[in-house]
Structure 1
Amino acid sequence: MLPKPCPPELRRRALDLLEPGRSVRDVAALLGIAESCLHRWKRLDLLDRGLKSPSPAEAESAALAMARARFDLLDPARFWLAGDGLLGVAGLG
């Protein structure tokens, strides 16, 4: 079972508390969240603000997500064949 997602306000507050130089351990204990969660939020925030480059694995993951999205647009279930030709895109005919 996955943990319940935290509200965005909690994430923002946690990241704001890290800014003045507090440790991840102290902020996590103060807010009652896991240190690993706070490390992840911090890493994602740095990526979002362009202050950190994605790792090769993160870049590959993003490229795969984009490829999957393009593939979904060309999903064969959206097309149908009749005889030896393509009739069209489902929903457009």
Structure 2
Amino acid sequence: MRWTSMLAIYVLFWAFSVFLVLPFGVRTAEEAGVERVPGQAESAPHEFRIGRIAFRVTIVATALFLLFVANYHFGWVTTEMLDFLDVANGV
């Protein structure tokens, strides 16, 4: 696999991992014990720490990407294994 393809796939894993990581560790103003700003949604996070979130996303994305690369090299799961409808044989 070329390094440009690996970089593009890693970026996709990183973007996907953002949606996996964002809901975890979020505390609302009520949970933090502070008053909400007028007009603030009840579900809005009390503090948004982009550095911490980016670090967590990078860890998750790297782990998933390494699993993907290992599967690519060792062939643990192939497209033939996932062909449940037997399309390859024309059925």
TM over 0.5: no
Structure richer in strand, relative to its length: 1
Taking structure 1 as the reference length, what is the TM-score of the superposition? Answer: 0.28
Does 1 or 2 have the higher relative contact order (CA < 8 Å, sep 6+)? 2
Larger radius of gyration: 1
